[in-house]
């Protein structure tokens, strides 16, 4: 269980940053060097190396040194465990929202049943 939790923590931490999500999108289009990624995201080489390192720790990205260039590509790891975890929460929230919808409908029906038509009353002045 601890290993499962750690994997989720690492993956979601890696995905929590918009730059890292952008790197994954970019690598989905094709492999790129760290230098190219740094240019695309307007950041320093050191900053991009840190982002890529976090993605690599999560096994979402794989790097390979080709000559003097470190090339990045998408990792082979699928997000099956993370998807299953999210699906459990989606089901939980769906049940809660369904129950809330039932409650709202009941309250609306009670409110409609308790309403009485407004009677027009005229005041007589003496």
CATH number for the domain harbouring residue 30: 1.10.10.10
What is the span of the domain harbouring residue 35? 2-74
* 58 and 10 in a common domain: yes
Question: Is 27 part of any domain?
Answer: yes
Claim to verify: residue 19 and residue 59 sit in the same structural domain:
yes
115 pLDDT above the threshold of 80: no
User: Which residues 6+ apart lie within 8 Å of 62 measured at CB?
Assistant: 56, 72, 73, 74, 75, 76
Give the pLDDT of residue 20. Answer: 97
Looking at residue 119, its pLDDT comes to 57
Q: Are 25 and 40 in contact (CB under 8 A)?
A: no
Looking at the structure, tell me whether residues 60 and 86 fall in a common domain.
Answer: no
pLDDT at 78: 84
Domain count for the chain, please give it. Answer: 2
Give 60-99 pLDDT, tens digit per residue: 999 999 899 999 999 988 888 889 889 988 888 888 998 8
Lowest mean pLDDT among 30-39, 89-98, 116-125: 116-125
- Does the pLDDT of residue 118 top 80, yes or no? no
Q: Is the domain of 87 the same as that of 39? A: no
Q: Which two tokens stand for residue 30?
A: 């094709």
pLDDT in tens, 35-65: 999 999 999 999 999 999 999 999 999 999 9
């Amino acid at each position: 269980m601890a290993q499962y939790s750690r994997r989720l923590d690492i993956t979601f931490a890696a995905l929590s940053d918009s730059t890292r999500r952008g790197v994954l999108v970019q690598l989905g289009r094709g492999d790129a060097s760290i230098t190219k990624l740094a240019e695309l995201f307007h950041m320093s080489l050191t900053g991009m190396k840190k982002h890529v390192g976090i993605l690599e720790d999560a096994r979402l990205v794989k790097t390979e040194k080709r000559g003097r260039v470190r090339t990045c590509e998408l990792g082979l790891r699928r997000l099956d465990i993370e998807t299953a975890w999210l699906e459990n929460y989606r089901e939980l929230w769906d049940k809660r929202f369904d129950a809330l919808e039932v409650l709202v409908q009941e309250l609306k029906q009670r409110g409609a049943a308790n309403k009485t038509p407004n009677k027009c009353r005229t005041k007589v002045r003496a």
